[in-house]
Amino acid sequence: MSQVTSSPTVAVPTVFVEHLDPVEGVEVLPYDPRDLQTPPGGGRDVDVLSLPFTAGRWMTRLDEIAGLRGVVLASAGFEHALRYLPAGVDLANAVGVHDTATAEMALTLMLASQREIPGYVLAQSEGRWDRSGAGQRRSLADSRVVVLGYGGIGRALAQRLVAAECEVVAVASRERAGDDLVERVHGIDRLTDLLPGADVLAVAVPLTDATRGLVDATALAALPDDALVVNVARGPVVDNEALQRECAAGRLRAALDVTDPEPLPEGHPLWSTPGVLVSPHVGGGTPASYPRMGRYLSRQLTAYRDHGRLDHVVATG
């Protein structure tokens, strides 16, 4: 990357501007992502472009933005942006912004599935007081939860699972020492060995070439009967067809905030498979995301001003 200008410019969606901390020496150029006629920056050179939560059309038109050197996504996932990244432009994802909200969603899906909340919602809509199975619903407490992906989201989820009195088994790309939540972080090569003892498998890894299809038919077959698969990562990390077959057979259950394909088409078997709970990829989206994104973006702009490069770069075009 070439040397930063003395007063770098950054184009920021208007919804984020009010949440930015002042960064001396950086010029903020607000833009409306819905305006597809006026490029971010209004035609001026832009050192750094901040994209909105729903990246939109400007993500596909990065080559039209003059002077661009860095792009900051508002999502933890970044695979969708790689194909549009111009040569020499750095891409950073939203590290830490969505950890809490996504972990909350994963915990919500677990609890709803274990306690069979969808059945109570249906009974309420029909005005039925249905106590069948009372006292025999599954609990999250005392469950063994394998957290696949022990980054920001995985660790935030582990904090909540420990508070819920679960045994947490952490799995990451490589084995390493544990922390205050887990005794050991296991390498991903141990995954199949760890699954037979799991009550819940929570998937929270980024989508990369190495993780695409990671939870395949073999991994699913290693899970014990009645285990719950929770996916808050990306749909293609899990073989959704194999998972649907396991759930349709009544052997496994699933709670999915992400699917493959996405959106899940009308009539797709996952909609109607018993034991499957689907939410439409909303785990990271809460009002808390806006101030968190503002603080993160402020830190990124400070790093760019001071060092001429964004932090947490995941790819360079």
Q: What is the pLDDT of residues 248-302, one digit of tens each?
A: 999 999 999 999 999 999 999 999 999 999 999 999 889 999 999 999 999 999 9
2 pLDDT band, cuts 50/70/90, is very low
CA 83/CA 28 separation, integer angstroms = 26
Beta-sheet pairing, 200-203 with 228-231: parallel
Q: State the DSSP H helix or E strand holding residue 104, giving kind and residue range, or none if neither.
A: helix 99-114
Locate 35 and state its tokens. Answer: 């305006």
In the chain, beta strands by DSSP E: 9-13, 27-31, 48-50, 70-72, 90-92, 144-148, 167-172, 176-177, 184-187, 200-203, 228-231, 253-256, 276-278, 313-316
pLDDT at 3: 46
Whether pLDDT at 5 is above 80: no
Burial 223-233 (b: 16+ CB within 10 A, else e): beeebbbbbbb
CA nearest to 19, candidates 290, 303, 299: 290
Locate 305 and state its tokens. Answer: 């001003």
pLDDT at 135: 77
Give residue 250's Cα distance to chain centre: 28
Mean pLDDT of the chain: 94
pLDDT at 6: 66
Q: Which residues pair with 60 in a beta bridge?
A: none
CA 170/CA 147 separation, integer angstroms = 5
- Give me the active site residues, please: 234, 262, 281
Burial of 38 (0-12, 13-18, 19+ CB in 10 A): exposed
The 10s digit of each residue's pLDDT in 145-187 is: 999 999 999 999 999 999 999 999 999 999 999 999 999 999 9
Average pLDDT over residues 88-93: 97
CB of 81 within 8 A of CB of 75? no
Q: State the DSSP H helix or E strand holding residue 248, giving kind and residue range, or none if neither.
A: helix 240-248
CB of 264 within 8 A of CB of 232? no
